[in-house]
Amino acid sequence: MHGNAPYSGPADATGDLSGEQRRALQTSIAQIASRTREFLPDEYVVGSEVTNGSSGVQVTVAVRPPAGNPVSAGFTPEFEDLADDDLIPTEDREEVARGLAASAALQVKHALGDDVPETAR
């Protein structure tokens, strides 16, 4: 069998990471997803994943709003010059969470358009 065959089985999504780096990365993206959920109502679905892309480990956090298109943020963590427990710096986590929440809310606004009656004057 060839290693590139689609039936060769699932690839290890975090094969290039040490166990400690994998746990730290999963903790960081879980914090991004959690922080994003804090900014949004319960109708928004937030998820995250770690995959092994063509350029290395890829991290994706995505939001599916109740109306409109899903939004996501994907990036490659820096492994050089960082401690294993700081693969995604705190300020980057906060920025990604805020950006995703704002983008998801904007998707709902675009999907609904001007058809929503004003609730306050």
Over the stretch 93-106, which tens digit does the pLDDT of each residue have? 899 999 999 999 99
Predicted local distance difference test score (pLDDT) of residue 77: 74
94 in Cβ contact with 35 (< 8 Å): yes
Over the stretch 25-40, which tens digit does the pLDDT of each residue have? 888 899 999 999 999 9
14 in Cβ contact with 25 (< 8 Å): yes
Whole-angstrom distance, CA of residue 89 vs CA of residue 98: 15
- Determine, yes or no, domain membership for 6: no
pLDDT at residue 8 above 60? no
pLDDT > 90: percent of the chain: 40
Q: What is the CATH number of the domain that holds 70?
A: 3.30.160
Residue 62's domain spans which residues?
A: 19-111
Over the stretch 62-97, which tens digit does the pLDDT of each residue have? 999 999 899 999 887 766 655 555 677 788 889 999
Global confidence as pTM: 0.73
pLDDT > 70: percent of the chain: 71
Provide the domain count of the chain. 1
Whole-angstrom distance, CA of residue 103 vs CA of residue 67: 12
- Determine, yes or no, domain membership for 60: yes
Nearest to 45 by CA among 31, 29, 64: 64
- Determine, yes or no, domain membership for 9: no
- Determine, yes or no, domain membership for 85: yes
- Determine, yes or no, domain membership for 116: no
Whole-angstrom distance, CA of residue 62 vs CA of residue 69: 11
- Determine, yes or no, domain membership for 63: yes
Predicted local distance difference test score (pLDDT) of residue 76: 79
Where residue 115 falls among pLDDT bands split at 50, 70, 90?
Answer: low
